[in-house]
Amino acid sequence: MSSKKILISFLGNINYDTRCYNLYNSLEAKGYEVNFIGFDWLTENFKSIKGNKSVFKLTKKISSVFFYLRFFLILKIQLLTRKYDILFAEDLYTLPLCIVVGKIKGAKVIYDCRELFGFLAGLKEKPFVQKLWQLVEKIFIKKADLVIVTGDMDAEFLKSEYQLKNIIVIRNLPLYNKAKSPINFYEKLNIASNKKILIYQGVVVKGRGIDMIFNLLSLTDEYVLIILGDGEHIDYYKSQSTILGISEKIHFVGKIPQDDLINYTAGAFIGLSLIENVSLSYYYALPNKLFEYVMAEIPVITTDLPQMKKIIDDYNVGFTVKENDIEQLLLILNNLKNDEQLYFTLKSNCVSASKILNWDNEFKNLENFISIQILQQ
C-alpha cells in the first residue's frame, strides 16, 4: 500500500464528472491517500461539501471576476495548507496554481488535458480570452511532469505544438459496469410506446450537435429525445424546443449521479454524439459519452470526425454522419428502427467492445507510468 498523497483539482463537480470520479476511486483503491477539490455553480440549490471530496459552491451572479477570484483563493488555500506528493490538474484553470505550488512544495504535477483548452469552441467569438488561455497553456503545460490526453491525435498535436515528451494517452472511458435496472422512460416520462428514444448526455452547450437533433425532430414524429445533463445553454435549448414546436418530443432530465447514469443510458434506443467541427478541440473530440453508450450496449451515431469515426469503424458499434446532414441521420435511424437484425448486431458488438473500452483496462497504463516514471524521478 502506498502512503503517497494525491490531490485532484477541477473546476467542476466530481459527482457529475466521470473522469474525476473514476480517477479518484482507482487511485484510492491502489492505496494512495486521495483528496479532491472541485467547484459547482450549475447545480440548483447546491451547498458546499467539505471532506476528502470537497466541492465548493460558486456563483456567476455577481460577476465573472468574483467567480474566478473565489475559485483561485479556495484552491490556493487548499494547495498551500497541505502537503501532497502528486497534484492532478484536471483542467487548464487549475494548472497554473498546481504548477507554482508544486514547484514550491516539491510535488509532481500531472496535467489532464482532456480538451485543447486554447482552442475551445466556446472561445471562438472571444479572441482576446482565447489568446489569453493559449498563452497560459503554452507557459504552464511544459512545466508539468506528465501530460495526459484523451486521444492519439491530441497527443500528436501537443507534441508538435509544445515539444512535449512526457505525454500519454488515457482515453475517457467508463468503468466496466452493466445496467442492473434500465430506466423505463416510456413509463417514467409517459412516452408513447411506438416512439423510439434517442439520448444525448453531457454538457448542454452549442457545438455539440443538439441543433442538428432538434432539426431532425422537426421533420419526424417517430423519435423523442432524452437530454441527460446541464450547461450554460440549457435555457436556450428549452426555449428553442418551444419555438420549433417540438417541446413534447424532448425531455430535459438534468444531471444524473455517476452511480445511476448507466441505468438511464441503457433505457434508450440510440446514443447520439453529433459534435460539430467548430474548433480544433472539437475536431479531435473523443468524448466519454461515446464510450458510455457502448458500455450501456446501445448503438451510437456520431459525426464523422476522425477520432470518433475510428472507434465506430474499429468496433462496428454504430454509424457516422456528415455534420448537419439531417437526411442522412434520419435514413440511418429509420434503418436501425426497421432492421432488427442490424440493430441487434450492433448491440452485440457493443457488448464485445465494452470488455475492451473500459476504464479498468485504461487505468493500468496511468498506474504504471505514475509508479515507474513519476514517483521515481
Which pLDDT band, with edges at 50, 70 and 90, does 43 fall under? confident
Q: Does residue 1 carry a pLDDT above 60?
A: no
- Please provide the CATH number assigned to the domain covering 185-354: 3.40.50.2000
Over the stretch 194-224, which tens digit does the pLDDT of each residue have?
A: 999 999 999 999 899 999 999 999 999 999 9
Q: What is the pLDDT of residue 116?
A: 77
Over the stretch 255-267, which tens digit does the pLDDT of each residue have?
A: 998 889 999 999 9
∠ CA 308-112-375 to the nearest 5 degrees?
Answer: 130
Q: What is the pLDDT of residue 368?
A: 84
Instruction: Quote the radius of gyration of the chain (alpha carbons, Å).
Output: 21
Does the domain at 5-173+359-374 match CATH 3.40.50.2000? Answer given as: yes
Q: Is 156 exposed, middle or buried (0-12, 13-18, 19+ CB in 10 A)?
A: middle
Strand-pairing partners, residue 47, are none
Over the stretch 251-298, which tens digit does the pLDDT of each residue have?
A: 999 999 888 999 999 999 999 999 999 888 889 999 999 999 999 999
Q: Is 228 exposed, middle or buried (0-12, 13-18, 19+ CB in 10 A)?
A: buried
Which pLDDT band, with edges at 50, 70 and 90, does 373 fall under? low
Q: What is the pLDDT of residue 122?
A: 55
Over the stretch 148-187, which tens digit does the pLDDT of each residue have?
A: 999 999 999 999 989 998 899 999 999 999 999 999 999 9
Percent of the chain with pLDDT over 90: 79
Contact 296, 179 (CB under 8 A): yes
Residue (of 54, 52, 53) closest to 71 by Cα position? 54
Let me know if the fold of 5-173+359-374 is the same as that of 185-354. yes
Rounded distance between C-alpha atoms, residue 114 and residue 38, angstroms: 16
Q: What is the pLDDT of residue 133?
A: 81
Indicate the domain borders of the chain: 5-173+359-374, 185-354
